[in-house]
């Protein structure tokens, strides 16, 4: 098993400060489509912020699997008619 300390260092761009703050929902409730991808998002490899504690080196990583519900479901793009029923979706967290 490879640990984070063994991975090669990669210089990644910092994520734009506006990322995740723009509402793509139109007044009628539909999702905006057909928008051009901003240049800073063409290469989507961004440095991330760890929101979970560092894993115990004996465990290698930490992960959770839960049903997609509540505020997580509300923030998702899932809608009636999607090919996968919401009951079959899962919310994953991983270090």
Q: What are the start-end ranges of the E strands in the chain?
A: 63-67, 90-94
Rounded Cα distance between 80 and 78, Å, is: 7
Distance of CA 89 to the CA centre of its chain: 14
**pLDDT tens column, 27-70:** 887 877 777 777 777 777 777 777 777 666 676 677 889 998 88
**pLDDT tens column, 12-26:** 777 778 777 777 777
Question: What percent helix, strand, coil does the chain show, rounded to 5?
Answer: 15, 15, 70
């Amino acid at each position: 098993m490879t640990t984070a300390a063994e991975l090669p260092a990669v210089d990644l761009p910092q994520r734009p400060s506006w990322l995740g703050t723009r509402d793509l929902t139109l007044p009628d409730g539909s999702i905006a489509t057909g928008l051009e991808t901003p240049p800073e998002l063409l290469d989507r490899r961004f440095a991330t912020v760890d929101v979970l504690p560092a894993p115990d080196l004996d465990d290698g990583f930490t992960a959770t699997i839960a049903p997609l519900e509540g505020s997580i479901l509300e923030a998702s793009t899932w809608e009636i008619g999607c090919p996968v029923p919401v009951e079959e979706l899962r919310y994953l967290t991983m270090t």
